[in-house]
Amino acid sequence: MAFTYTASSTGSTLQTETVSIEVSPASGVIAATMLPGDSVSGTINVSNTGTVDEYYFITADWKAADDDTTPSLAALLAYNLNVSVAVGDTDLFAGKLEDLIDRPDSPGRELTLTTANEDVSFNFTLPTDAGNAVQDIDLAIDFVFVATS
C-alpha cells in the first residue's frame, strides 16, 4: 500500500539585497621611487554602499608600467617587493606582492552596515638584499576590491 503526504507553505516572500563597495581614492594611492631598504605607504578607504553586511577581498593586479619594463622584469619586482595590508591593528596580508590575491582568506574582511567604511593601509618595502636585478623596473599596481555577502 502506497502512502502519500502533501504539505503547503503559504505566505513566503523573496526579496533581494544589494552588495556594493566603493573605494577612495580611485587612483594614485602610491607613486614612489624606491631603493633597497625603502618603504612607502598608502591608504584606501573602503565603504559599504550596499544594503547588507558584506565581506571583501583584495587582489593586487600588477604589470609593467612602461615599455622599458618587460613582463618578466615586472614579475621579478613583484617577487621581491614585500607588502603588508592592514586595517588598524588587524593584519589582512603580509608577504610578497605577487601573492596578494583574494586576501584576507575566506570569508574575507567583514564590513558591516554599522561600520560603514574603514581605511585599508598598504605598506611596501624593498628588502635591503634586493640587489641590482630590480633596478629601473617600473611597476603599475591596481588594487582590486571584491565584495560578497
Q: Tell me whether residue 66 is in a domain.
A: yes
C-alpha grid cell for residue 84?
603588508
Among 25-39, 48-62, 119-133, which stretch is predicted with the lowest mean pLDDT? 25-39
Could you tell me if residue 136 is inside a domain?
Answer: yes
Detail the DSSP E strand segments found in the chain.
21-24, 39-48, 54-64, 82-87, 90-96, 109-111, 117-125, 139-148
Contact status, residue 68 vs residue 136, Cβ threshold 8 Å: yes
Instruction: Strands of 77-138 (E only): list them.
Output: 82-87, 90-96, 109-111, 117-125
> Is residue 14 one of the residues assigned to a domain?
no
133 in any annotated domain: yes
Q: Compute the distance between CA of residue 139 and CA of residue 98 in angstroms, rounded to an integer.
A: 12
Range(s) of the domain holding residue 85? 21-25+44-148
| Domain count for the chain | 1
- Does residue 128 belong to any structural domain of this protein? yes
User: Averaged over 55-59, what is the pLDDT?
Assistant: 97
The whole model's pTM is what?
Answer: 0.87
**Interval 118-125 mean pLDDT:** 96
Q: Give tens-digit pLDDT for 72-118.
A: 999 999 999 999 999 999 999 999 999 999 999 999 999 999 999 99
Distance CA 15, CA 81 (A): 45
Phi/psi for 73 (5° steps) reads -70, -40
